[in-house]
Chains A and B, each alone.
Chain A
Amino acid sequence: MTNSSGFRLAGKITTLLGLMIIAPTAFADMVLNLRRGVTDISQTVYELHMLILWVCVVIAIVVFGIMIVSIVLHRRSRGAEAAGFSHSTKAELIWTIIPVIILIWMAVPAAKTLVVMEDFRDSEMTIKVTGYQWKWHYSYLGTEVDFFSTLARSSNIARQLRSGVDPFSVENYLLDVDKPLVVPVDTKIRLLITSNDVIHAWWMPSFAVKKDAIPGFINEVWFKANETGTFRGQCAELCGRGHGFMPIVVDVLSRQDYAAWIDAKGRGETVAMVDSTAAAEAPAAARELSGEELYNISCGACHQANGQGLPPTFPSLVDSAMVDGPIAEHIDIVMNGRVGTAMVGFSTQLSDAELAAIISYERNAWGLNSGDTVQASDIAAAR
């Protein structure tokens, strides 16, 4: 932990009690409350939320009010004599019926919203979203465009156990990715959500969209963003060790910009304007990363820093034939993955140099010291 955060810590702890008192009164504040979001649906949801909230607050005031009055007035220390009554059919009817009415009154708009949410008619484009342990894959149906979206490297380095990097120094810590999902504004977009391994959930608060990604099934959701901009969310279903580290970022572009982007993507170019989120990284990641660092970021989650893995699901590399077997096979597995296992191919996600560095590291780490070194050219050859 760096000094700066050390001071912040000290400062915070002292001011927290103060914060506690004002917090509940600050409902309007964005950080305290649900966000309005940028779709019609998310606005409606926000209004619904506020409606129920206030209904509950009002009921609470009434109920707690009566209770407090009674606690204050009807105490023996004030010489209150206990009355003897023990039931009143009238009262009991009233406080059964009134809640029912309130509930119905709340249920109607809720039901309406739900119906709208389930209406998929005339959506203009479709994107298939697939959850992986622990990243997202997007493929734009009807185009060549598909890519993985993983936690931005700056965050990934800072979030390693005792990394020594102060999270406050990383912008959008844990909420940034290398390649965001890019969509046009004012367009009804349908997402087909599924998973490759365990259950995940694709959650974009600003769109009021949250759907589970279930292996073997496809769930559908749609949204229509009214504003351009960058919006951030996270995986919202426990999916194992990296659950906290598979954020979701959506860039909503003007229709023209989107057209340009998808077209360039189709031709396999990277588009600065958008993909720059990956390029413009915190200083930590600007330098060349060693094979070890790359390994810890890309492979360590499953195979562990010590290469022991988490058997049975994530095999140990140390005592696997791969790392001291033929280099070609090693490269093949890392690049193309192993079908039927959690091991996915990394060829689309890492550069030749990075893959080479990782493989070299794997063959020499943990006391294996085979002395092998893999060059970027070997990877290029294998592509």
Chain B
Amino acid sequence: MDHTHDKYYIPHGSHWPIVGSFALFVMLGGFAVYLNGAAIGGTASLFGLAVLVVMMAGWFGNVITESMAGYYNPQVDKSFRMGMMWFIFSEVMFFAAFFGALFYARQLAIPWLGGEGTKFMTNLMLWPGFEALWPSNGPAHAGGEFETMAATGLPAINTAILLSSSVTITIAHHALKNGNRLQLNLGVLVTVILGFSFIYLQATEYMHAYSELNLKLSTGIYGSTFFVLTGFHGLHVTVGAIFLTVIWFRILRGHFTPQKHFAFEAASWYWHFVDVVWLCLYFFVYWL
């Protein structure tokens, strides 16, 4: 059956979404069971994750074949772009929630516990002697004495890494537009390597925090905000890096033309997004 370019391509029935639903059901259901204390839940959860990966491979596989077969006219391409942009927007809002929590804790909760504003009695009667300082693990010193991660050192290196990685991905993009395949290939490759080294350093940083600094997720509000913010960011970097890896292999396969390369752009937008999030993190979490 032919799909002429002037027509907006409407795919026929696809079984991938329902597979995805099944995957999420097993993955999250299993995880919930695991959290309730039944070990098998963990196994189920991993199985669900595997199915999810298969589903994504299959789903994106379909999209790629259709795209290569030239089913997608510019309007379809535009739909994909808009979709990706608004998806990233929703991701921004997800992080906004955790940044909100950080600001609230620093600007309101801790000062109140320290007796500021109308909360003088809170401090006097419930938490006598607690001083509102940041970083803080709260009046009960949850998790005990701890040190914070110095903004210099690993975090600084990580910042450099991510910044340069978004430079390299931009170089690659220009290369793609100018049809310079080699530069494109290397640009993406370097980005991927930088991405994974960021994750590696982040991991060592966590180990350092847990073993030497006694900085844990359970270290009061500081540990909570620190690990949840950096953790979800790390997760997104991982996803982005995998995304870029796929793109790299597609480049090897000779996919993407100077005119049509939505997937590549999607990946790079996503990469810039995790980059920006990191800058906010570095500024608000590590520096201030």
Interface residues of A (CB under 8 A from B): 118, 128, 192, 194, 216-218, 220
Contact = CB atoms under 8 A, between A and B. Distances in A.
Contacts of A218: 119, 121-122, 125-126
B125 A217 contact: no
Contacts of A192: 121, 125
Nearest to B139: A216
A194 B122 CA distance: 9
B112 A217 contact: yes
Given A194-B126, A217-B122, 12 more contacts: A118-B118, A128-B125, A192-B121, A216-B113, A216-B126, A216-B127, A217-B112, A217-B126, A218-B119, A218-B126, A220-B118, A220-B121
B130 to A, nearest CB: 11
A194 B127 CA distance: 13
B105 to A, nearest CB: 13
B234 to A, nearest CB: 31
A131 to B, nearest CB: 14
A220 B121 CA distance: 9
Nearest to B36: A312
Interface in B125-158: 125-127
Contacts of A128: 125
A220 B119 CA distance: 8
Contacts of B113: 216-217
A194 B113 CA distance: 13
B114 to A, nearest CB: 12
A314 B144 CA distance: 28
B46 to A, nearest CB: 26
A266 to B, nearest CB: 21
A217 B123 CA distance: 8
A239 B126 CA distance: 21
Nearest to A141: B125
A118 B117 CA distance: 12
15 contacts: A128-B125, A192-B121, A216-B113, A216-B122, A217-B113, A217-B119, A217-B122, A217-B126, A218-B119, A218-B121, A218-B122, A218-B125, A218-B126, A220-B118, A220-B121
Interface string B89-128: 0000000000000000000000011000011011001110
Contacts of A118: 118
A199 to B, nearest CB: 15
B118 to A, nearest CB: 7
The 8 A-B pairs with the shortest beta carbon distances in the complex, nearest first, are A218-B122, A218-B121, A217-B122, A192-B121, A218-B125, A218-B126, A216-B126, A220-B121
Contacts of B126: 194, 216-218
Contacts of B121: 192, 218, 220
B221 to A, nearest CB: 12
Contacts of B125: 128, 192, 218
A218 B124 CA distance: 10
A192 B118 CA distance: 11
A217 B121 CA distance: 8
A220 B112 CA distance: 13
B235 to A, nearest CB: 29
B132 to A, nearest CB: 14
Output the residue of A118, A194, A216, A220 with the most chain B CB within 10 A.
Answer: A216
A361 B272 CA distance: 67
Nearest to A194: B126
Contacts of A194: 122, 126
Contacts of B112: 217
A118 B118 CA distance: 10
Nearest to B138: A216
A139 to B, nearest CB: 10
A308 B47 CA distance: 35
A217 B116 CA distance: 12
Nearest to B124: A218
Output the residue of B113, B121, B125 with the most chain A CB within 10 A.
Answer: B121
A114 to B, nearest CB: 13
B249 to A, nearest CB: 48
Contacts of B127: 216
A363 to B, nearest CB: 30
B237 to A, nearest CB: 35
A220 B122 CA distance: 10
B214 to A, nearest CB: 22
B77 to A, nearest CB: 38
Interface string B244-275: 00000000000000000000000000000000
A128 B125 CA distance: 10
Contacts of A220: 118, 121
A381 to B, nearest CB: 34
Interface in B54-77: none
B38 to A, nearest CB: 14
Contacts of B122: 194, 216-218
Contacts of A217: 112-113, 119, 122, 126
Nearest to A118: B118
Contacts of A216: 113, 122, 126-127
Interface in B216-260: none
Nearest to B125: A218
A286 to B, nearest CB: 40
Nearest to B121: A218
Nearest to B127: A216
B218 to A, nearest CB: 16
A220 B124 CA distance: 13
Output the residue of A128, A192, A218, A220 with the most chain B CB within 10 A.
Answer: A218
